[in-house]
Amino acid sequence: MSIIVDVLVLAGVLLAIVAVVQVAAARLVLPESTLLSAIGIAIGAGYVAIDAAHPAFAQHFLHPLIDPELPPEAYLWIFLPPLLFHAALTADVRSMVPDAAPILLLAVVAVIVATGVIGVATSAASGMPLAACLLLGAVVATTDPAAVIAIFRDVGAPARLIRLVEGESLLNDAAAIAIVGVLVAMLTGHGAQATLGAGVRELAWSFIGGVLCGALAGRLVAEVLPRLSGLAMAESALTLALPYPLYLLADQLLDVSGVVAVVCAGLMVSALGPTRLTPAN
């Protein structure tokens, strides 16, 4: 019961914060991610003071935000699928197709290179095992480009540059999370054996399998959408229903990257949707 209460409180407060931040960002002409970060820091700092003055209030209202009683996997399962799917669904896939090669180079190859450089440098400086240092490299190799993209649009950056950053941001997290999964398996002795070759094979299967799984799921949904009689609510409900089961199917049952699957499904629906839905929908 405590976990359910935490989830409900967390979801309600987060949605309210997002609504307020969107209005404030529009009026102040600031990136939403910057304001969200500032509010997160303020909540964390304010919790200490409020807990000292009014512990009962802090325990009941702020503690679920600061330290919700959720398993670590729950954060990925609850937040990641809809966020990635929405980002992919709103991407202009057709305009990104000519730049597919540089986008994949930045999103996959560059992430692997950054992970390797950070891991090797950290291992040499600290003396820690290379696999553990590579895990750190995979965690910090990607950054959130939301604020950068907002600034690009404000200053009138070239459209191709914005497309490259947007396209790279869709898959770089997927590549990093796939690398993290392989490295964790190597460190724990589960899944891939603790060898570079086995890790590369595991990564290739995780990434390619996720692409195929997501593309197939997105294609099936795109085929079903025209059969919903043009009802916008039904179409929205179907697309909303896709990311969660797809993520769990790919990650838990097929043992491929659920992140890659969700992103590719969103890109497929984004590419095929305009030819299957009415302009208003």
What's the confidence (pLDDT) of residue 192? 45
Q: Are 21 and 30 in contact (CB under 8 A)?
A: no
Of the chain, the percentage scoring pLDDT greater than 70 comes to 84
The pTM for the full model equals: 0.71
Structure tokens at 271: 């590419």
Asked whether the beta carbons of 161 and 102 are under 8 A apart, the reply is: no
**Residue 66 predicted with pLDDT over 50:** yes
DSSP state, residue 145:
-
Assess contact for 203 and 178: CB atoms under 8 A. yes
* pLDDT computed for residue 142 by the predictor: 80
* Confidence at 275, pLDDT banded by 50, 70, 90: confident
Q: What is the DSSP letter of 158?
A: -
Average pLDDT in the chain: 79
- pLDDT for 170-227, tens place per residue? 777 777 877 787 788 777 765 444 556 666 777 778 788 888 999 899 889 888 888 8
**Closest by alpha carbon to 179, among 260, 83, 81?**
260
Q: What percent of the chain has pLDDT over 90?
A: 2
For residue range 74-103, what is the model confidence (pLDDT) as tens digits?
777 777 888 888 878 877 777 777 888 888
Buried b / exposed e over 239-261, threshold 16 CB at 10 Å, is beebbbebbeebbeebebbbbbb
4: helix, coil or strand?
helix
| CA dist., res. 190 & res. 183, Å (int) | 10
